[in-house]
Amino acid sequence: MDVADLGVEIAGTRVPSRLWLGTGGLTSHDTVRRVVEAGRPGLVTVSMRRTSDTGANGLLMTLRELGVRLLPNTAGCRSAREAVLTAQLAREALGTDWVKLEVIGDELSLLPDVIELVEAAAILVDDGFTVLPYTTADPVVAQRLVDVGCAAVMPLGSPIGSGRGITDPYAIESVRAAVSVPLVLDAGIGTASEAAQAMELGCDAVLVATAVTRSENPVAMARAMHLGVQAGALARGAGRVPRRQQARASSPMQGRVKI
Amino acid sequence: MHVILNGQPLEVADGARLPSLVPDARGVAVAVNGVVVCAGDWPATVLQDNDRIEVVTARQGG
């Protein structure tokens, strides 16, 4: 049943799936193709890097053939200035004004520098970009990002590539409560149940890269993530039962056998 | 004269323009000294000594 995945609307544009996929870590263009076909992501992220002498860009050709929307990131940038230039280069190279804005503040944890992030977001919004910032799961920062015009907020579940899942679900719920723009869980997901959990906590989409690309079977994990995101979205809409201190029998008490 | 292309020094002819370094604009973008130069402006962009040129494209990334 695929009805749960109606996609998510970002800045007036419908992204056709709530699963978003990062390509970092995939080893071949053929694997990229099979992973995208299995996961059917609403968009696919790419990084911007210096050209080499290897000729035509096979990755780009593969993604163009698949017809999937590209979301360039500013991965590796450590200042607002670097991130703004990288976003502008991506717009020129790929013909999209959408950007996953990432400004790293600490090389060990890869946590964002939210001061530089808000500054870069403001500059890029003024320059006409649709800005999707990767940020800490902090409702105050999320509100600042919305205040400067970000189209979504993408809080981390745990550090990039750590596969530790959502270490502070309350923080994600706090961000959800703070802002009304789309919320995309970005970073930390390790497996499909955690993608479902992100949706249950109120996220509108989930961006996974490492969890798929470095799994033992990326194609199978992409499919699992697709289903996990759908399951979580359905469960969120269905409304879970409240947690109770004590048991509550689900079978009726009347009509029991008596001996 | 010399320019720096993607971090590497490169000898180019005086008066060289951007298309001589980047013949194919598809899927790539160029910044000269930290400012993006649109592909349409490449033919008119005459390189200067010590220009720092970045040529980037999409790669795998999360």
Domains parsed from chain A with CATH numbers: 8-238 (3.20.20.70)
Q: Give backbone dihedrals phi and psi of B2, rounded to 5 degrees, phi first.
A: -115, 140
What is the 8-class DSSP label of residue B40? G
Distance from CA of A124 to the nearest CA of B (A): 14
Q: What was the pLDDT predicted at B23?
A: 81
3-state secondary structure string across A56-111 = CCHHHHHHHHHCCEEEEECCCCCCHHHHHHHHHHHHHHHCCCEEEECCECCCCCCC
pLDDT category, B43, cuts 50, 70, 90?
very high
Kindly report each contact of residues A199-203 with a partner whose C-beta sits within 8 Å and lies 24 or more positions away, as own/partner. A199/A18, A199/A229, A199/A231, A199/A232, A199/A233, A199/A235, A199/A236, A200/A232, A200/A235, A200/A236, A200/A240, A201/A166, A201/A169, A201/A172, A201/A173, A201/A176, A202/A172, A202/A173, A202/A176, A202/A236, A203/A172, A203/A176
CA pair distance A91, A86, nearest whole angstrom? 9
pLDDT category, B62, cuts 50, 70, 90?
confident
Contact A89 B56 (CB under 8 A): yes
Contact A48 B54 (CB under 8 A): no
Strand partners, A20: A43, A207
Distance from CA of A200 to the nearest CA of B (A): 23
Q: What was the pLDDT predicted at A4?
A: 60
Contact B61 A94 (CB under 8 A): no
Domains parsed from chain B with CATH numbers: 2-57 (3.10.20.30)
Contact A72 B58 (CB under 8 A): yes
Q: What was the pLDDT predicted at A87?
A: 98
A75 in reach of chain B (CB within 8 A): yes
Contact A85 B36 (CB under 8 A): yes
Provide the annotated active-site residues of A. 100
Q: What residues 129-168 of chain A have any CB closer than 8 A to a CB of chain B?
A: 160-161
Q: What was the pLDDT predicted at A1?
A: 46
pLDDT category, B24, cuts 50, 70, 90?
confident
Distance from CA of A199 to the nearest CA of B (A): 20
Stretches where chain A sits below pLDDT 70 are 1-5, 53-56
- Of B7, B58, B62, nearest to A93 by CB-CB distance is B58
